[in-house]
């Protein structure tokens, strides 16, 4: 376990004029436009995506913004306001998987993926500024990719639909960046909508927007970034995927999505104990996503607390992807008045969410900070997020 070294929280991106002015200073020209794409929080539905199941993320009010200018040659120049890498210069002709380093693999991966799809991507100058914290489980990397693909879709006139951009960013992540990720993060970032969660069927990319507004219910969504990333996260992810594949094979289904809660009793007799618990998490989690969608539509966010809690217990005990920091964040939030809390994201570190009445927000924050200090853990970063708009052109 180690503290994530480059975790940061910025106060928010500069105005678009500042970004355009900085672009002009750095690159000596005026950008063709500015595009933004949000990070995301997964409200519920963890490790269900690669089982062709359901997820319910929402786009958040923290975004990556890119100012982009089209060049007349095949040169690509990239600069982020974060970190001190300076301008990275490369060429379209040298784009190949494994060739890019650091943050530039995200924009370059998108350019590569679009070219794989036969889209004539031009050389560009690009300035990135993001308010999505890095490595906190809010998908700062997909925010970059989605901002970049939105820009290139407009600038090339490719006219890709959101579903196609989702698949292109997945191709970039899987084959260029080398991360075996699904379609949830970019679906939330590209297809999110203010005041809504994105109910996504990972089998067919069907999306419906579910009203999800915390403010009218006098609630806030707290994100508690534990600032830890466990070294076994990659291996843990791979082994959970393998268990799910084994479970589906033994149960004779295409994916665990096809197993219902009522089938679990029979499944228990067919699977080894560990595989059964992995399967039970996925099957019950899919069911919880469906219930959350129903509850939100019928009674609003105040009604989903118990589902968030049950999701956490399932990940902690059946899927075994929590860690002491996440459990402490969840338990302390609940003990101090949050109506529901769970770890969010792939697990083994990252962030927890706590749906919290406004009047106990400070109490929960203070209690979590105190509990972390008492346990000798790194101080967490705690902030609120609201369901916000998906990717768009802003200038």
Please return the burial class of 97, using the count of CB atoms within 10 Å of its CB with bins 0-12, 13-18 and 19+: middle
Among 42, 48, 63, 80, binds ligand ADP (CB under 6 A): 80
Gap between the Cα atoms of 370 and 336, Å rounded: 12
State CA 369 to chain mean position distance. Answer: 24
Catalog residues that contact Mg ion under the rule CB under 5 A: 139, 141
Considering the complex, what minimum distance in angstroms separates the CB of residue 223 from Mg ion? 15
- The 3-state DSSP class for residue 358 equals helix
Decide if residue 134 touches ligand ADP (CB under 6 A).
yes
Decide if residue 42 touches ligand ADP (CB under 6 A).
no
Angle at 193 between CA 155 and CA 41, to 5 degrees: 100
Considering the complex, what minimum distance in angstroms separates the CB of residue 246 from Mg ion? 26
- Which residue numbers are catalytic? 185
Looking at beta carbons only, is 183 or 355 nearer to Mg ion? 183
Indicate the Cα dihedral angle 72, 75, 80, 83, nearest 10°. -160
Decide if residue 311 touches ligand ADP (CB under 6 A).
no
- The 3-state DSSP class for residue 14 equals coil
Looking at beta carbons only, is 169 or 333 nearer to Mg ion? 169
Q: Which of 64, 63, 81 shows the shortest CA–CA distance to 26?
A: 81
Among 37, 128, 147, 233, binds ligand ADP (CB under 6 A): 128
Pick what 311 binds: Mg ion, ligand ADP, none; C-beta below 5 to 8 Å, kind-dependent.
none
Among 98, 102, 178, 324, binds ligand ADP (CB under 6 A): 102
Q: Interaction with ligand ADP in 53-72: which residues (CB under 6 A)?
A: none
DSSP 271: S
Pick what 128 binds: Mg ion, ligand ADP, none; C-beta below 5 to 8 Å, kind-dependent.
ligand ADP
Gap between the Cα atoms of 391 and 157, Å rounded: 17
Residue with tokens 């998108």: 110
Considering the complex, what minimum distance in angstroms separates the CB of residue 342 from Mg ion? 19
**Rama region for 348: left / alpha / beta (φ>0; ψ in -120 to 50; rest):** left
Considering the complex, what minimum distance in angstroms separates the CB of residue 277 from ligand ADP? 26
Task: Give the CB-nearest residue to Mg ion.
Answer: 141
126-134, 154-162, 272-280, 332-340 -> range binding ligand ADP (CB under 6 A): 126-134
Looking at beta carbons only, is 144 or 343 nearer to ligand ADP? 144
Residues recorded for the chain: 395
Considering the complex, what minimum distance in angstroms separates the CB of residue 128 from ligand ADP? 6
Q: Interaction with ligand ADP in 267-306: which residues (CB under 6 A)?
A: none
User: Residue 274 to residues 186, 260, 284, 321, 336: CA-CA distances in angstroms?
Assistant: 31, 18, 16, 13, 33
Considering the complex, what minimum distance in angstroms separates the CB of residue 198 from ligand ADP? 17
Among 31, 38, 135, 305, binds ligand ADP (CB under 6 A): 135
């Amino acid at each position: 376990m180690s503290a994530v070294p480059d975790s940061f929280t910025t106060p928010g991106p500069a105005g678009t004029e500042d970004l355009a002015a900085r672009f002009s200073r750095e690159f000596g020209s005026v950008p063709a436009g500015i595009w933004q794409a949000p990070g995301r929080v997964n409200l519920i539905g963890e490790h269900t995506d690669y089982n062709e199941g359901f997820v319910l993320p929402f786009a958040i009010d923290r975004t990556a913004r890119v100012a982009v200018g089209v060049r007349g040659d095949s040169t690509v120049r990239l600069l982020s306001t974060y970190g001190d890498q300076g301008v990275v210069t490369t060429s379209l002709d040298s784009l190949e998987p494994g060739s890019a380093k650091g943050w530039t693999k995200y924009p370059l991966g998108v350019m590569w993926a679009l070219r794989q799809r036969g889209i004539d991507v031009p050389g560009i100058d690009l300035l990135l500024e993001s308010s999505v914290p890095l490595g906190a489980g809010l998908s700062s990397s997909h925010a970059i990719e989605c901002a970049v693909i939105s820009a290139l879709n407009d600038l090339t006139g490719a006219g890709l639909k959101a579903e196609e951009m989702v698949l292109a960013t997945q191709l970039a992540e899987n084959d260029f960046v080398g991360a075996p990720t699904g379609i949830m993060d970019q679906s939330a970032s590209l297809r999110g909508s203010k005041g809504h969660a994105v109910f996504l069927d990972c089998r067919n990319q069907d999306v419906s927007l579910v009203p999800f507004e915390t403010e009218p219910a006098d609630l806030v969504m707290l994100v508690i970034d534990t600032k830890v990333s466990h070294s076994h996260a990659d291996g843990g992810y791979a082994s959970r995927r393998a268990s799910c594949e084994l479970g589906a094979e033994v149960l004779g289904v295409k994916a665990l999505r096809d197993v219902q809660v009522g089938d679990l009793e029979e499944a228990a007799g067919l699977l080894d104990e560990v595989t059964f618990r992995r399967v039970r998490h996925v099957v019950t989690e899919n069911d919880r996503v469906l219930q959350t969608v129903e509850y939100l539509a019928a009674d609003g966010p105040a009604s989903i607390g118990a589902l968030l809690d049950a999701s956490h217990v399932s990940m902690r005990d059946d899927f075994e992807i929590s860690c002491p920091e996440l459990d402490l964040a969840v338990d302390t939030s609940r003990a101090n008045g949050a109506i529901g809390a769970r770890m969010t994201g792939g697990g083994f570190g990252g962030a927890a969410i706590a749906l919290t009445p406004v009047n106990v927000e400070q109490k929960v924050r203070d209690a979590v900070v105190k509990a972390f200090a008492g346990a000798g853990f790194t101080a967490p970063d705690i902030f609120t997020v609201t369901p916000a708009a998906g990717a768009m052109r802003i200038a």
